[in-house]
Structure 1
């Protein structure tokens, strides 16, 4: 027999969930309409680097406190399209031309909100360099590393390297400033499985700088300078061939495993439309980047196109922005073997010494179909702050949120909001354990087999702080473990953890250890097995 509780903002036990229908469908009536509840400024903008010669991506803020029926997007005063989400990409534009963009929101209560007009220009169209003109052969067998690199090196600022339809086998290639790598529909850049085709470079791996095999697509060591304006676009596929490459790199043991894409020390990175598959390690790893935009990208680290699992995959994260700022990820699909998106900023003393946080991150209108959702950490020693995860669906995904900082990391995770998200997890593949604790979890005992919430240790530079985490308008149903799990350290309790309009059903219910400032305003928890709530050292 299942246990049920509903808690209001006073933390009172209210009994059964008879009024659950009042929450309504997420994204429409999850928050009850309010005459004064909507913001008036949609804050329309185009993210950093999200302009090409023929497209402009636009984002705007979602009105809060009221449901939105639809958005209309206008280009130069004419209707260009509609959306139910807060992003839209205008295609087929002319190069090097300024456009006027505006958005109108039609609210469920009959009101209309209009954005200010955004004036922004497309980029000039440079020269396109087809890799076949440099000797590349798309037969899936010829090694094309030199031909592709020669095409890249031939580019002037603003030029594009084009990979046409075909399967182009390659080792590591190195991008440079002010160029675009474009993959046509039907094009595949296929990674070689020979570790000799990936020179050893020094990159950050799992939070510390160390020798690593180069990734399939890289930037070189900037030697204290910065790269700028790098784009990877198109409808083609980048396949790291990671199942075999991982085994070969582990057998050679010359360095840590590489990724499929590793862009480092770059201002203005745009990933648009591409599909990225099968990495030997984390799949897409931006490091020390400012102005990262990911639009309409599909990342698959667990299954091939037919749904068959890639063999031997471990640590198969999808996308890991690492000490990056001003990050926008939207309209994308991630099916990962591990964390779908993991925000990181270095490990322990080295990460604290580097001291570059990941900050100002917006993840919206994304779909996750395997793995562990959107994670903060666990390598977060440079700090993580100012993160919004909004309007995302999690299907057959173990968790929506994992905020994790084990002892030794230090620094702060703060100002994180997950809102208007749904999760269903009906698989028997994973259960709660030392590496993942529930569908919504905040865990400062990450990695400990049998944590003792009472056993305090002295505070030091490695004692992390987690504060100001909000979960709002969320529905979840999981058989994998806890619906909600909060575990702060006795020497560093979690601070200001807030639940608003959350309906959560799990194998187990709600656990909270060592929390200061827990707000539960419209929280409903159901446990299929065991207790609905366990609370230790928690205060409002």
Structure 2
């Protein structure tokens, strides 16, 4: 019998996040113990036996049987090799074995210049409840395709869905674009609003690729200008979405856009919007966000990698009066164990007029990324951003492609003057429906080294100051140091900031400030 540690080292809050079960796998997440510094690894038990070990707080249990229920618990192993008391046990079930609908059986061929839209859509339309539309090895050129409820789109290893570069292959639709309902070109992979109500139970998985061919399509859509640019994947009004193991890349704008959707899991997904996997730059594309939950709730993003041209993850909820009228928040979002390789990190806003609340980002790495945390809500947006937590993250940025400007101010960047190059931090304006509130933001256990912009930039409005901002255990060096304007309730504990260029802030230590 192995000795047990104190319960303070037991994993907490074990769960299998929504939709994260396939016919052969179950994903699980948990919270670190109360004493994480002593943790060497975690053991994952399935039906009482060890299935595997890991050092992070997510694990995908593979090799399971379809239509089976499994009991799962997790134990911590300390650095001295002692095993903790187990977490609570959860039960989770795999899906039934899926009926396969191979797109080649419906006429799809992996031949250059052959458009496979009709064949792939025929496979989707034929797919039965719980079925799997299968994309085998090969590159299949297609225009817009439309998924339906209770199906899986499976792109196998070596398989590629490659978007056509002809705008006529993407019908015009009304989608949310930068916070407003507007006419857009359809995306490569879509859903349609339906008379029966909301869709549910959509999975996109496999080790293959969804490539929107954005470099060419961007040019053609911008030249034609019949609508705003499409995305690589745009799912709207869907409950229970699972994105697993897939690579999505080269979108003409935002890459993966999830609108009015709930109960979402994103597991081991790779997104490339700036360069491909080999570092070759996509030309001319802008608005290249990686993953955007938009007026969406109960979102779990874990074990994933995003190399972005713009925001890596941007959490949104509509823009200005229209966004406030729709009034659907983004909330209850957990981002853990992710790697960000370029772009602007995890952002909230600037379209956030339906509220954003309860966001947690932890145990993530940021490499040549400009900011760990950006919260942006310029005048006109209205609504509330609240209960946001960033913790246990590390940033190293040596890129100088962007420096201090109206779009980017710091490695920690909370900015209510976002998008304004010139502004007066002391000039108050009338409070109205467009006045935003930003409150209850906690940033803890962060290590940052950046050569671009400020280490910390906090700018509230004089008529609506930032409220209750807490910075704790932060070690950072940057081009510039720490700037703060218009804050009520700023607490800083064990914050060390060093500036490379600010003569008056070469080294700054703050234990506590409240103003």
Distance in structure 2 (CA, Å) of the matches to 1:493 and 1:37: 41
Query: Quick one: structure 1 residues 113 and 494, their matched pair in 2 at CA, closer, same or farther if it must change by over 3 Å?
Result: farther
Distance in structure 1 (CA, Å) of the matches to 2:55 and 2:305: 17
Which structure has more relative contact order (CA 8 Å, sep 6+)? It is 1
1:471 to 416, 433, 443: 443
Shift of 1:264: 0.4
Deviations 1:317-344 (A, max 9, x none): 0000000000000000000000000000
Distance in structure 1 (CA, Å) of the matches to 2:308 and 2:500: 27
Distance in structure 2 (CA, Å) of the matches to 1:330 and 1:200: 33
Is residue 84 from structure 1 mapped to residue 55 from structure 2 by the alignment? yes
Shift of 1:112: 1.8
SS at match of 1:502: strand
Is residue 101 from structure 1 mapped to residue 72 from structure 2 by the alignment? yes
SS at match of 1:452: coil
Partner of 2:208: 236
Q: What residue ranges of structure 2 are gaps of 5+ in the alignment?
A: none
Is residue 47 from structure 1 mapped to residue 8 from structure 2 by the alignment? no
Partner of 2:36: 66
Is residue 176 from structure 1 mapped to residue 155 from structure 2 by the alignment? no
Query: Quick one: structure 1 residues 227 and 479, their matched pair in 2 at CA, closer, same or farther if it must change by over 3 Å?
Result: same
Query: Quick one: structure 1 residues 65 and 492, their matched pair in 2 at CA, closer, same or farther if it must change by over 3 Å?
Result: farther
User: Contact 1:439–1:484 at 8 Å: present in 2 too?
Assistant: yes
Shift of 1:63: 2.1
Partner of 1:338: 310
Partner of 1:259: 231
Deviations 1:190-223 (A, max 9, x none): 0000000000010001000010000000000134
Q: How does 1:132-147 map to 2 (within 5 A)?
A: 132-147=104-119
Query: Quick one: structure 1 residues 224 and 418, their matched pair in 2 at CA, closer, same or farther if it must change by over 3 Å?
Result: farther
Shift of 1:392: 0.2
Deviations 1:479-505 (A, max 9, x none): 101000000000000011101111111
SS at match of 1:483: strand
Distance in structure 2 (CA, Å) of the matches to 1:220 and 1:534: 53
Is residue 57 from structure 1 mapped to residue 27 from structure 2 by the alignment? yes
Shift of 1:40: 5.2
User: Contact 1:395–1:423 at 8 Å: present in 2 too?
Assistant: yes
User: Contact 2:11–2:32 at 8 Å: present in 1 too?
Assistant: no
Shift of 1:113: 4.0
SS at match of 2:141: strand
2:94 to 116, 122, 126: 122
Q: What residue ranges of structure 1 are gaps of 5+ in the alignment?
A: 1-34
Shift of 1:82: 0.8
Partner of 1:372: 344
Distance in structure 1 (CA, Å) of the matches to 2:299 and 2:310: 21
Is residue 448 from structure 1 mapped to residue 427 from structure 2 by the alignment? no
Distance in structure 2 (CA, Å) of the matches to 1:223 and 1:261: 22
RMSD: 1.7
Shift of 1:107: 4.0
> What's the TM-score once normalised by structure 1's chain length?
0.91
Distance in structure 1 (CA, Å) of the matches to 2:415 and 2:222: 31
Deviations 1:339-391 (A, max 9, x none): 00000000000000000000000000000000000001110000000011000
Distance in structure 1 (CA, Å) of the matches to 2:113 and 2:226: 25
Deviations 1:394-419 (A, max 9, x none): 00111111011000000001101000
SS at match of 2:293: coil
> What's the TM-score once normalised by structure 2's chain length?
0.95
Distance in structure 1 (CA, Å) of the matches to 2:8 and 2:386: 25
